[in-house]
Amino acid sequence: MAQKFPRDRFDSIPHGIERVGAHRAPARKGAGWVAFGWAALATVVLAAAGIGGVIAFNDRLNFGDAGVATPTPTPVVTAAPTVAPDIPVTVLNGTTTSGLAARAGEALTAAGIPVGTTANASEDTLTETVVYYATADLEGAARGVAAAIPEADVRLSEQFAAIGTPLVLVVGSDYAAATGG
């Protein structure tokens, strides 16, 4: 059987105060907002640290010298277009358009550039018209050939030097389109 103790001063509680434990004071108003504020601050700090860590590990963030400039490339000096009357140009047709090499050869002859032979290239699907020159000292002559042919590009290549032709014009489909062929 339960024992009954006499009433004492701790059994009488004033009205309006809830029991909160033997040694606890009643909760203050707004105490929940303080906890929410600390949680929000911790979330922001952890998110910023995580984003910063990901950026640093992906090498997007450079902690080195910010003042080091990347070197700018120096402009390449190109030779002026010239005509080399002692070097004949071999003209090759790199398309399926019949007679395109002959047409390009006639355009070169009209510009005062000597033409050696005209023939079909080993490929007939070339889209780009290119003047190939075998040595760097022929760049000016190659640029002179390119100036007489619409859409022509100039490239240094020893590909045709083995056949004894230092200047070769390979006509592509861009030349056919430019000349209406």
Q: Give the chain's domain count.
A: 2
Flag whether 147 is in a domain.
Answer: yes
- Decide which of 11, 43, 61 is a domain's last residue: 61
Residues 122 and 44 in one domain: no
- Decide which of 46, 61, 76 is a domain's last residue: 61
With a cut of 80, say whether residue 79 has pLDDT above it. no
Paired tokens of 87: 């070097």
CATH number at residue 153: 3.30.70.2390
Residues 165 and 114 in one domain: yes
Q: What is the pLDDT of residue 61?
A: 57
Flag whether 12 is in a domain.
Answer: no
Q: Which of 26, 4, 31 is nearest to 14 (CA)?
A: 26
* Coil/strand/helix, residue 53: helix
Flag whether 8 is in a domain.
Answer: no
78 close to 104: Cβ distance less than 8 angstroms: no
Mean pLDDT, range 104-112, rounded to an integer: 90
Flag whether 25 is in a domain.
Answer: no
Where would I find the beta strands (DSSP E) of 11-166?
89-93, 115-120, 129-133, 152-156
Residues 57 and 93 in one domain: no
With a cut of 90, say whether residue 43 has pLDDT above it. yes
In this prediction, residue 160 has a pLDDT band, given cuts at 50, 70 and 90, of confident
Residues 117 and 165 in one domain: yes
Domain of residue 54, residue span: 31-61
Residues 97 and 57 in one domain: no
